[in-house]
Copies of this chain bind each other. A is one copy, B any other.
């Protein structure tokens, strides 16, 4: 993993989302996620032990937090910080083009 490109090695069609760890230490894990129309299944929430900083780099997505009324629509460059155990779900991702995310999962308090 000396060099790579976040927008390369993308399969033409995705039946499922792709989660790929790019870098991992005891302090954090860096992950690329590729979506194509997938969403969190109805009624399900992400409830993570780790904190997450995530940026959407291509495509678009709708992100919902359980404690918020409004859906957040993410466009390229948009990032969001998610606390541990802050329940959230991806309501939709762009069905027309691949959505590329970069996420940092980490444990420590800021």
Binding site for B on A (CB under 8 A): 1-8, 22-28, 30, 53, 55, 57, 72, 75-81, 102, 104, 106, 108-110
- Cβ contacts under 8 Å, A110 to chain B: 23-25
* Residue among B4, B6, B26, B79 making CB contact with A5, cutoff 8 Å: B79
Residues of B within 8 A of A30 (CB): 53, 104
Contact residues in B for A55 (Cβ distance below 8 Å): 6, 102
Chief secondary structure at chain A's binding surface: strand
In the assembled complex, the Cα of A79 lies from the Cα of B2 at a distance in Å of 8
B1 adjacent to A81 (CB under 8 Å): yes
B residues within 8 A CB of A25? 27-28, 106, 108-110
